[in-house]
Amino acid sequence: MEKAPVQFLTITADFAGQRIDNFLMARLKGVPKTHIYRILRKGEVRVNKKRAKPSYKLQDGDYIRLPPLQIEPENVLPRPGNQLMQCLENRILYEDNGLLIINKPSGIPVHGGSSVKLGVVEALRCMYPKLTQLELVHRLDLDTSGCLILAKKRSVLRELHELLRARHVEKIYWTLTKGHWKEAELTVDVPLLKNQLTSGERIVHVHAEGKPSVTHFRTLHEYSKTSLMEATLETGRTHQIRVHAKHRGHPVAGDEKYGDRELNKQLRETGLRRMFLHAYLIRFTLPSSGQEISVTAPLDVELSECLDAL
Catalytic residue check, 96: no
Shortest CA distance to 212 belongs to which of 240, 173, 178, 184? 240
Q: Report how far residue 82's alpha carbon sits from residue 167's, in angstroms, rounded to the nearest whole number.
A: 37
For residue 205, what pLDDT is reported? Answer: 93
The pLDDT of 276-302, averaged and rounded, is 96
Q: Report how far residue 81's alpha carbon sits from residue 114's, in angstroms, rounded to the nearest whole number.
A: 20
For residue 56, what pLDDT is reported? Answer: 93
User: DSSP class of residue 299?
Assistant: P
Domain with CATH 3.30.2350.10 in the chain: 82-160, 166-309
162-194 CB burial, b ≥16 within 10 A, e <16: ebbeeeebebbbbbbbbbebeeeeeebebbbbe
For residue 113, what pLDDT is reported? Answer: 62
Confirm if 98 and 135 have CB atoms less than 8 A apart. Answer: no
199-255 tens-digit pLDDT: 667 899 999 999 999 999 999 999 999 999 999 999 989 999 999 999 999 999 999
Indicate the average pLDDT of the chain: 90
For residue 71, what pLDDT is reported? Answer: 60
For residue 1, what pLDDT is reported? Answer: 44
- Write the CB contacts of 17 (distance below 8 Å, at least 6 apart in sequence): 57, 58, 158
Model pTM score: 0.79
Shortest CA distance to 36 belongs to which of 4, 11, 13? 4
Q: Which of 21, 141, 143, 300 is catalytic?
A: 141
Long-range CB pairs of 100-103 (<8 Å, 24+ gap) are: 100/124, 100/131, 100/134, 100/149, 100/150, 100/151, 100/152, 101/147, 101/148, 101/149, 101/150, 101/282, 101/293, 101/295, 102/147, 102/148, 102/150, 103/145, 103/146, 103/147, 103/148, 103/297, 103/298
38-56 tens-digit pLDDT: 999 999 999 999 999 999 9
Range in 86-95, 128-137, 227-236 the model is least confident about? 128-137
- Choosing among 3.20.20.80, 3.40.50.410, 1.20.120.640, 3.30.2350.10, the CATH entry for 82-160 is 3.30.2350.10
CATH of region 166-309? 3.30.2350.10
Confirm if 72 and 4 have CB atoms less than 8 A apart. Answer: no
Q: Report how far residue 86's alpha carbon sits from residue 102's, in angstroms, rounded to the nearest whole number.
A: 13
Q: In this structure, which topology does domain 2-75 adopt according to CATH?
A: 3.10.290
- Which stretch of DSSP H or E encloses residue 160? helix 154-165
14-28 tens-digit pLDDT: 778 889 998 888 777
CB atoms within 10 A of CB 94: 16
Domain with CATH 3.10.290.10 in the chain: 2-75
Q: Quick check: helix, strand or coil at residue 131?
A: coil
Residue 112 predicted with pLDDT over 80 = no
Residue 13 predicted with pLDDT over 80 = no
The pLDDT of 96-123, averaged and rounded, is 86
> Which residue type does 123 have?
A
The pLDDT of 155-168, averaged and rounded, is 91
